């Protein structure tokens, strides 16, 4: 009888990392590893790191150190780093953090079982040397699909696999294993990015943009529905570019209605849209297709023209407001959210005032604000006109206060609206928590339902908004409005 091998996956960062962790889990389970939730109960703790900004890197290092402590009083024998921070820094991270028994890059994912077994046996797998992953695929998007088989693309495992590889039954099972019973799951639409924003290092370690084939996205969504998932969120570094390497930049407009028709799926959400790439046809599909959330996660980053040009981005306050007006003209209750960077090199007081003008007029449901900091290997890190750290910190605090006030005001505007709420937790008769169509997981607040009677996780229910708590809504379920879901709960 084979020796019992246990592994736990600790995931940090974005929804894309969550998909990658579930692919790793699928690969490991297919090779006989037993997945456990608690790292203390695992022979190997795999930490899927985030390498986006300094705060995320610190969280990743802290998680690795915390897992390493388990080796002193738990079952854990090895701690392994994977994910963006591991890919981005490789040997440098291994040398700076000897507590990690292994630092594995994306190229190791296909052989993750062998890598972990080697480390568990006391062997050493050499940490990889980071490279610019943009150079792994052809410059021309039209030529990339032919080369994709030779490049590691986490989260792109096909949905029809050879016998014995798939971790679940059925021909549509992807190389993926769900790590929780959440009724929401993310699906990779694409990977990488072709934009060259001067503040962002992601393309260097995630690579050039490449789409997944629609059949793989559809089949994975069908499989997730069979696992009880009610909402899928399409994720990538830039969803508006989907299909450009497949010969059809409007491919998302035709894929979304197909996803909405998958049996069992109640809502489809699209994340991370580039304002400069928004198309009238895409806006029409997002605002008029049943089961497609009228949700716009728009990457504005700033609104002052000079700052945007220094970022190598496009647009300005008035054009952004016009885009939002167009969206709300088609779907008045549409959700809109964005992130912004303050304190970018060269940002003047008038630039900051222009951003505040935009925020005051945009009526965004959720706002993320970040203070600028240099990122290794980015163009902006070499700019001369940096602002003092205390000025960046003051501007961050100032805009964050404004953002908090504005999203609370936007929530108050929704009092009286009827919202479709996907129930995600039930507290008995005392109430339940869920999210409306304008709220993505983790980032955009939630709906607090005043009664949980008759509700179950995964249930879609109509509710009337009767109050707010900051960015969160308080809503009363409407009688007879239950629209599907798991009768027994989870």
> Could you tell me which residues are annotated as the binding site?
14, 50, 84, 193, 197, 200
Beta-carbon contacts of residue 410 (< 8 Å; ≥ 6 apart): 363, 364, 365, 471
Task: Pull the structure tokens for residue 162.
Answer: 């050879």
Q: Helices 15-30 and 112-120: crossing angle, nearest 10°? A: 70
Q: How far apart are CA 465 and CA 475, in angstroms?
A: 4
Q: Tokens 């050879």 identify what position?
A: 162
Instruction: Give CA separation, 185 vs 135, 140, 251, 267, 450, in Å.
Output: 31, 32, 22, 11, 26
Instruction: Give CA separation, 199 vs 209, 307, 342, 371, in Å.
Output: 18, 11, 12, 12
DSSP 71: G
Pairing state of beta strands 190-191 and 210-211?
Answer: antiparallel
Q: Which residues are annotated as a binding site for [4Fe-4S] cluster?
A: 14, 50, 84, 193, 197, 200
The phi-psi region of residue 97 (left if phi > 0; otherwise alpha if psi is between -120 and 50; otherwise beta) is: beta
Yes or no: say if 471 and 407 are a contact pair by the CB < 8 Å rule.
yes
Beta-carbon contacts of residue 248 (< 8 Å; ≥ 6 apart): 254
């Amino acid at each position: 009888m084979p020796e019992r091998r246990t592994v736990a996956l600790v995931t940090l960062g974005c929804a894309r990392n969550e998909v990658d962790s579930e692919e790793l889990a699928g690969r490991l389970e297919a090779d006989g590893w037993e997945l456990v939730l608690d790292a203390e109960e695992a022979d190997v703790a795999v930490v899927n790191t985030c390498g986006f900004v300094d705060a995320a890197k610190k969280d990743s290092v802290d998680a690795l150190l915390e897992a390493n402590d388990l080796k002193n009083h738990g079952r854990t024998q090895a701690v392994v780093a994977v994910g963006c921070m591991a890919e981005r820094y490789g040997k440098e991270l291994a040398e700076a953090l000897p507590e990690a028994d292994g630092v594995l890059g994306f190229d190791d994912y296909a052989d993750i079982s062998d890598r972990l077994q080697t480390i568990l046996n006391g062997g050493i797998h050499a940490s990889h040397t980071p490279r610019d992953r943009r150079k792994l695929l052809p410059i021309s998007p039209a030529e990339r699909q032919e080369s994709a088989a030779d490049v590691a693309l986490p989260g792109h495992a096909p949905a029809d696999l050879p016998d014995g590889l798939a971790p679940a039954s059925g021909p549509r099972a992807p190389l993926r294993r769900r790590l929780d019973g959440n009724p929401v799951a993310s699906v990779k639409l694409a990977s990488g990015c072709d934009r060259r924003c001067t503040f962002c290092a992601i393309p260097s370690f995630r690579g050039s943009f490449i789409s997944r084939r629609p059949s793989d996205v559809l089949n994975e969504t069908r499989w997730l529905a069979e696992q009880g998932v009610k909402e899928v969120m399409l994720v990538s570094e830039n969803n508006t570019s989907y299909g450009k390497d497949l010969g059809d930049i409007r491919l998302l407009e035709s894929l979304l209605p197909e996803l909405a028709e998958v049996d069992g799926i109640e809502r489809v959400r699209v994340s991370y849209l580039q304002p400069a790439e928004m198309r009238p046809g895409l806006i029409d599909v997002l605002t008029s297709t049943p089961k497609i959330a009228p949700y716009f996660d728009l990457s504005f980053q700033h609104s002052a023209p000079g700052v945007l040009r220094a970022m190598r981005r496009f647009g300005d306050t008035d054009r952004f407001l016009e885009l939002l007006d167009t969206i709300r003209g088609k779907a008045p209750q549409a959700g809109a959210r964005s992130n912004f960077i303050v304190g970018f090199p060269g940002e003047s007081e008038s630039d900051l005032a222009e951003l505040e003008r935009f925020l005051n007029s945009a009526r965004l449901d959720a706002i993320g604000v970040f203070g600028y900091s240099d990122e290794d290997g980015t163009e902006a890190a070499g700019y001369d006109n940096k602002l003092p750290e205390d000025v960046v910190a003051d501007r961050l605090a100032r805009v964050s206060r404004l953002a908090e006030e504005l999203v609370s005001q936007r929530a108050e505007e929704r009092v009286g609206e009827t919202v479709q709420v996907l129930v995600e937790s039930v507290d008995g008769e005392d109430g339940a928590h869920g999210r409306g169509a304008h709220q993505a997981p983790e980032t955009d607040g939630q709906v607090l339902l005043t009664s949980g009677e008759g509700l179950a996780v995964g249930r879609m229910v109509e509710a009337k908004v009767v109050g707010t708590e900051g960015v969160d809504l308080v809503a009363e379920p409407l009688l007879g409005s239950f629209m599907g879901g798991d009768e027994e709960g989870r």
